[in-house]
Amino acid sequence: MNKFYSLQDAVADIPDQATVASTGVIGWITPDALLKAIGDRFEATQAPRNLTFYFPCGTGDAMYIGGMDRVAKKGLMKRLIAGSYINPRHPETGERPKVMQMIHKDEMEAYTWPIATSMQWLREVARRSPGYLTKTGLGTFIDPDVTGGRFTPSATDDLVEKVSFKGEDYLFYPTWDLNYGIIRATSADANGNLSFENEALVSSNLAIAIAVKASGGTVIAQVEREVPRGSRNIHDVQLPGSLVDRIVVVEDQAFCTELERDPNYLGEQRIPVSDLPKPPPGADKIIAARAAEAVRKHELTIFGFGASGDIPLVMAEQGLLAGDQVYDYEFTTEHGSYGGVVMSGWQFSANINPEAVIDGITQFDVIEGGLCKLAALAFAEFDEGGTVNVSKFGTANPGSGGFVNIAHNAERLVFTGTFTTGGLRTSVANGKLCIEQEGKVKKFVKQAQHITYQVKEGIKERNQQVFLVTERAVFEVDEQGLALIEIAPGIELEKDILQQMEFRPYRIAEPLPLMDASLFREDYVE
């Protein structure tokens, strides 16, 4: 039986109303050519129509690796459920991603689920169980008493239910069939056995394939080459051909955004830590350097996007990871790369010089099991009631990614971000910080626009320790609320802190300690 197809033939029979699941983490491991083939077929024939797409994570960068933007066409995409969305403007055209444009115009039913939920739900589809049951997310945006994960007015169906089980409330995600799985690997043989040797991540490939096959559906894989049967060690073959129906060879499939195939992400060689790129100067670098003080040796630490993702690179620049010292630290992200150094920007999610990589659904078992003791995550808003928002603010609808699951299960949390946003400019001199231009948007608000995580609940119920680190102040959160515990040298308490907040901290340390002057180096700020 021939499993190799052309791009066009591989997707030619996808019918109207089908459900299609696909994988990818920004630009990593994205089956971009297959997704483009679906979009191209629709442009040429106006078929298939009214598909439901299921992306456990934000797939593609909406620029050079289009990903989910390839199928973001009115009439083709009826419904989208995604663990996260891509929102930045294209650097050349200034255009927002097509998915985000459709959301703003309400041209499809858009939902967002926490990434761990979106991956673990696949396991329940594969098991043909009634659905996925969890406490994680109660009281947040995914709770049907809040928004039920809806992102557009046309998203009216209840995809999430609140149920009582043994006297306690849970969130329940009913399962439904997945008709097609669009996945990606590196190599395939004639039997369809897949290996991932040129991929820095595995993500949800295995979970999607199993869930689709259990649904009676069709799995289509994009690879860069065909290899002879029996030419690979069996431990290299992670997805057996019994779970793969069609294969398309795309020899030039992109490795990652702005990155050619790099053996340092694959364990084939190791780049000296001293040669790693330095985070660009700016407020985020100050924040990352201060937040790095929370990182402990021999403790599994998970990093999120933004300033928190810069922490390992700042530590590398400071010489803390030189030589064998790097093995004293256990760094990971929500996507399953372990060891080495977490990278930032478009390369975030994979580690350089990794020691191991596991698939996405297994990684979230690690996270939900509370094994990541420290989590460093970004924040877009923090409100008086102790709510953190990263999922929806202003015209940005990025979704929560793995934030909800990571925050819920860590013992210690460090939320990082600038104090204000929208035009903030800073400078430093003589170990002091100066606000050259204040941001237009306040991030410490009376009420957050979206409930991504409720910090006080984590403190009360799970005894979490929580801090917020900004470029000009450090806060601790306890059951009573937000406490100001450090201020940057050069910063005025009233003008630069309190007047830039919509509420006052319930406590201000007296005397108020200064942040370490060594953080405010002239090479840290433009």
Encoded tokens for 443:
């991030």
For residue 511, cis peptide bond before it (omega within 30 degrees of 0): yes
Half-sphere exposure of 409 (CA within 13 A, CB side): 24
> 330, 334, 368, 486: which is the annotated catalytic residue?
334
pLDDT, one tens digit per residue, over 190-248 is 999 999 999 999 999 999 999 999 999 999 999 999 999 999 999 999 999 999 999 99
What domains lie within the chain, and their CATH numbers? 7-249 (3.40.1080.10), 265-524 (3.40.1080.10)
> Residues with Cβ < 8 Å from 214, sequence gap 6 or more?
125, 126, 127, 128
Q: What are residue 352's DSSP bridge partners?
A: 341
pLDDT number for residue 1: 82
**How sure is the predictor about 526, in pLDDT bands with cuts at 50, 70 and 90?**
low
pLDDT at 405: 95
Catalytic residue list contains 334: yes
Q: What is the dihedral of CA 269, 275, 276, 279, to 10 degrees?
A: 180
Tell me how far apart the alpha carbons of residues 484 and 48 are, in angstroms, rounded to a whole number. 55
CA–centroid distance for 52 within its chain: 21
- Cβ count near 281 (within 10 Å): 15
Alpha carbons 70 and 475: distance in angstroms, whole number: 42
Take residue 309 and report the two structure tokens written for it: 């993702």
32-46: burial string, b at 16+ Cβ within 10 Å, e else: bbbbbbbbebbeeee
Across 231-323, the runs of DSSP E, i.e. the strands, are 237-239, 246-249, 300-303
Which among 64, 83, 60 is positioned nearest to 72, based on CA atoms? 60
Report whether pLDDT(299) > 90: yes
Measured CA distances, 71 to 49, 208, 221 (Å): 11, 18, 17
pLDDT digits (tens, 9 = 90+) for 421-453: 999 999 999 899 999 999 999 999 999 999 999
Q: How confident is the model at residue 98 (pLDDT cuts 50, 70, 90)?
A: very high
pLDDT > 90? residue 88: no
CB of 483 closer than 8 Å to CB of 501 = no
